[in-house]
Amino acid sequence: MVARITVPLSVSRALNYNEQKTEKGQAECIYAHNFLKEHNKLSFHDKLRHFEYINALNKRATTNTLHVSLNFDPSEKIGTETLSEIASFYMQKIGFGDQPYLVYRHNDAGHPHIHIVATAIKMDGTRISMHNLGRNESTKARKEIEERYQLVKAEKQEGLKNDLVKPVDVQKITYGKSITKRSITNVLDAVIPHYKYASLPELNAILKLYNVVADRGAEGGLIHKTGGLVFRVLDKEGNKIGVPIKASSIYSKPTLKNLQQKFEQNVIDKEQHKKFLKTSIDWIMLKSPRTLDDFYNALRKEKISLVVRQNEDGIVYGLTYVDHKTKCVFNGSEIGKDYSAKAILEKIGHSSKEQIKNLSVPEQNIIKSKKQRATLKEDHREVQKVGGNLIDELMRANADPNYIPREFKKKKRKKRKPNT
């Protein structure tokens, strides 16, 4: 079992998240503790008013809401009654056993999981401290629950979140907004927090593995002019299908503005991993691969994806590396001249202008259409499209247990300008 704790800005935000899932048939309220009615008789306003009434008893508290998700292994089939028992046991162990809280069972992912919304304000107006709650009380409670209910232990659930995310099934995408948004959101949650990409094209290199792309719209168009961003589903040929989903409408808020902050930080974070990738490539080159296929397969064994960029004539003009160990995306020339397409091809006995035919590199790992290249002109870095049969490697990426959705992060107060 994996437990994740967040502290939302308000109880209404956490409650709305779960209630909206319920309205869409993606969740169900299965238990209400210390409410005046049973869970199936509570309206949204009943729930919100009860939480707000108690929170009003301590108006000085800046954090008064707890939102927990308890995630179980996909192999575990846990009934509703047992899920409610686990939630009650967990809340009791972390010191929230006497608090009003709601338990929601979610069915929008491939693994069983529940969400718990609670107030940290007691009836006497005092506040329950949530400092190091996840590291201390939650960890102890989680281990007890694993033993008591014979659950798969968290240590054996590495990469649970990523293991459950699959590429969007384009055959099921027509023009329905609900299924498209849910599929895209699952992909974004698996990729955005875990990989290091320093530009939108670099992010798209990974997203395309899941048949998803971040789109700024046509240059000169309204979306592009206003700095907007939408996410689209791609078919096998790389064509955009289905309805575009606004980044601002997605729960984690992967807007262009927010992503740009990640780009800046990732430029720094990537640098320390460059040497590791160099060493891996150097080691492979010592084995003297004779073809680009040999080079590709040798990299794959090291959990490095090679992305080949060709023109319509089959001429290779760029190589990009996606290191799944360090979760970094690097353009060949970004690593060094010796790792560019021209240098690598010369070392394996090919001319940089030579046509490379009958590559066994998966089709998804080859960028060759003019339409695809045109989308990359905005950024000076080479970009890549990761191959479909490397999905298993990407899915093994470890989920960050400390990741907190942007919705639940406390906003920084803006400093007032002094009066002049």
Q: For 106-157, write each residue's pLDDT tens digit.
A: 987 667 889 999 999 999 999 999 888 888 899 999 999 999 999 888 766 5
Instruction: Give 394 or 272, the one with higher predicted confidence.
Output: 272
Nearest C-alpha neighbor of 185 from the set 201, 206, 207, 203: 207
**Range of weakest confidence among 266-280, 346-360, 389-403:** 389-403
Q: Specify the pLDDT at position 376.
A: 41
Question: Which has the higher per-residue pLDDT, 347 or 178?
Answer: 347
Q: Are 352 and 316 in contact (CB under 8 A)?
A: yes
Q: Which of 116-130, 167-181, 188-202, 390-404 has the highest mean pLDDT?
A: 116-130
419 compared with 5, residue with greater pLDDT: 5
Asked if pLDDT for residue 397 goes beyond 50, the answer is no
The pLDDT of residue 204 is above 80: yes
Nearest to 147 by CA among 98, 86, 96, 91: 86
Cβ atoms of 311 and 368 within 8 Å: the answer is yes
Cβ-count burial of 34 within 10 angstroms (0-12 exposed, 13-18 middle, 19+ buried)?
middle
Average pLDDT estimate for 377-383: 38
Of 101 and 318, which is predicted with more confidence? Answer: 101
Give CA angle at 346 (343, 348), nearest 5°: 110
In this prediction, residue 49 has a pLDDT band, given cuts at 50, 70 and 90, of: very high
Percentage, residues of the chain above pLDDT 70? 77
The pTM assigned to this predicted structure is 0.48
Sheet containing 65-71: order of strands: 2-6, 65-71, 113-119, 101-106, 27-33
Q: Which of 354 and 344 is assigned the larger pLDDT?
A: 344
**What per-residue confidence (pLDDT) applies to 401?**
42
Dihedral of the alpha carbons of 295, 300, 303, 307, in degrees to the nearest 10? 70
The pLDDT tens digits for 212-265 are 899 998 888 899 999 999 999 888 777 888 889 999 998 889 999 999 999 988
**Lowest mean pLDDT, pick from 112-116, 302-306, 339-343, 358-362:** 358-362
Task: Give the Cα separation of 285 and 67 in Å (integer).
Answer: 50
- In this predicted structure, what is the pLDDT of residue 41? 94
Nearest residue to 336 (alpha-carbon basis) of 402, 271, 289, 394: 271
User: What average pLDDT does the chain have?
Assistant: 80
